Chain A
């Protein structure tokens, strides 16, 4: 046990305690949290800074609007409903098209208008939000995933998580949904995390639960050496979120749209630690390098990205 502790320590694996006290508390001022906890605020900030995000269709804030839902979503063939303050991907409904007057979800399930209305009113009363606070729904354009991931994901939307410290990308991974995770890109629920070489944008090996894995458990296709398109663009988006929010320690979630390229989905002020398992590497050494570099003075986004690409390539 003690040996394991020492090994983890040597590898610079970040612990929850250290993440909270040395990074979250130090770099993220509480005052700025609402910027990332509310997806609409994040979206608006990003649009001002001309960072690409999925375009907003509608907002649903009252029960009254739910009654007119059919009219509101009538112009859109496919769309996504998200709780603005949701956590962990809960409460998200992806509608791809309509069949027989029903809404067809991405996993093929059909929803009646009544069912969607109930979901929305649950959402408004805070069923999916942090701490059960009243919430509102964002209806936005559905992201159509770049085909590069088609062979290595099951339903759902694979997303790229980049952790940035003081605006320097520190580590990245792709989260691939599996049948087990029922389309969600959450490692806890059985999605695969695949580490990414920051220098080249190519995937390294992956992790399924706690085991190393080199193929997707549902499709059996290799998940190693996939070259992620728009890689430097993705890193730039991630890096620029520091200026966007003022939060020094962020998890940036990015999806790659078939047509529109990388879109920033959401930001997380308390990014998880699983990225270390996906990359099979402790993250602390990278943080120390970044802190040392940042102490020398502020740099523009491009040089931050190139610093990270040089130093953290594997």
Chain B
């Protein structure tokens, strides 16, 4: 007996730990949201490459597509290019979409890449450490200009990050030395290049970063940032203000130098970008997560076709309904017809809504009872009698549907969703208990069944709960452990306190 209880509590603990562990892992690490209406900022970014070709020339085109960006994750992406073969390659810090075609048709061509991206809270992404730096020797005047800036920056800095910031400050002054480095056309590009040149001379690895401000959707052009490796990690510095850190809405497209796109066999290439915000609900994000990485998400319900998902949404709530019945029966002592009949009635309530559900249920059962009492007089045997009641129930349903249609009450039509066989058995049982235990007892159980059905419906149709169970089916393991714990309850039911009232105060 003792080993039995140890076994049981071990099982309960194991189920609870596994269930809640999976739940916490998936919520906190894999970022599956807890509620369905979590508002998540997401955008659709579209990059397209347009060019013209000549007939029958092979075409190879590639452009950089986003791969890893701090603060963002790619939920979904599509590649569109008619007849083109598409591969994606990782090159350095970037990802390339490679498009290829053996023979072009000679028309203007368009290649599209579309990504849905969203903000993420957790950001455990890290750029790898940079390769070793090759120092170029500069000519004398350049070297002097660099040295001057290095000296000035050194005086006003303490470490690599502040040094880089000071360098950018110096370069932004646009005095004689900087002119030499930055060049005549002072713009972001030349500024960043000059900064990299200076930093490389003192053996600091730096590279430019191209990206987009997602909140400024009207102007979808690339802005530059400077990424500096400080020996341990990368720091991002805004070249214009020389402040450190990436803004939250900055979406990194390309790391390092290099062309944004390359094309062989095509002419007059134009590369365009468009950004638009897209509202996406949390569940579809969880879904797209599952497409990406973790095997724990891969085997999730979100993988199923949508109509199957809907079925499972209902199925997954059945244990909740059963749990409600457990509470009502083992703790309260409510009497119902059949153990889980109320759960099935509650399922029907989903479509009919509670008030109408109760009205229809009572109507059908009471008319069914009248029919049953009449059949009693005919002295039918059990099976024919049940068949008769079933037929009467179906006729009643048709009748109610037609009448309510004519009266314009749409809710009456949903009567067809009631489980007929269950209703038939309920009527038969109610009638027998009416005969044998009296009307009071039968009505008590009938009312108990309705109460249980309403409560089960209320629990099962709770939308946040529904979402939670659907997104985290492992919570059913937790529920299972709770059921096992509650199943250990040996104490009195609420109804028993009244039943044994005569014994209270004895002795």
Contacts and interface: CB of A to CB of B under 8 A. Distances in A.
Interface stretch (B49-57, B75-83, B376-384, B405-413): B376-384
Contacts of A212: 502
Nearest to B436: A90
B507 A17 contact: no
Nearest to B499: A210
Interface string B468-501: 0000000000000000000011111100110111
Given A1-B497, A17-B493, A7 B504 contact: yes
A209 B496 CA distance: 14
B493 A11 contact: no
A13 interface: yes
Contacts of A210: 499, 501-502
Contacts of B504: 4, 7-8
A119 to B, nearest CB: 9
B503 interface: yes
Contacts of B489: 17
Interface string A1-38: 10011011101010111100110000000000000000
Interface string B368-405: 00000000000101110000000000000000000000
Helix, strand, loop or mixed for chain A's interface? helix
B502 A11 contact: no
Given A1-B497, A188-B437, A281-B503, A17 B330 contact: yes
B501 A18 contact: no
A8 B382 contact: no
Given A8-B492, A17-B330, A90-B436, A277 B497 contact: no
B507 A11 contact: yes
A118 B436 CA distance: 17
Contact of B502 (A18, A127, A188, A207): A207
Contacts of B438: 189
Interface residues of A, number: 35
A277 B500 contact: yes
Contacts of B259: none
B305 interface: no
Residue among B437, B491, B500 facing the most chain A CB atoms (10 A cut-off): B500
Interface footprint category on B? 20 to 34
Contacts of B295: none
A251 B271 CA distance: 89
Interface string A123-158: 001110000100000000000000000000000000
B128 interface: no
A205 B496 CA distance: 21
Nearest to B441: A188
A15 B496 contact: yes
A63 B175 CA distance: 116
Contacts of A224: none
Interface in B424-441: 432, 436-438, 441
A312 B446 CA distance: 41
A203 interface: no
B377 to A, nearest CB: 11
Contacts of A7: 503-505
A88 B381 CA distance: 21
Interface of B: 330, 333, 379, 381-383, 432, 436-438, 441, 488-493, 496-497, 499-507
Sort A-B residue pairs by CB-CB distance and give the 3 closest, nearest first: A125-B382, A18-B490, A15-B492
Given A1-B497, A17-B492, 15 more contacts: A4-B497, A7-B504, A15-B491, A15-B493, A17-B493, A118-B379, A121-B381, A188-B441, A189-B437, A210-B499, A211-B502, A276-B503, A280-B502, A281-B503, A281-B506
Interface of A: 1, 4-5, 7-9, 11, 13, 15-18, 21-22, 88, 90, 118, 121-122, 125-127, 132, 188-189, 207, 210-212, 273, 276-277, 280-282
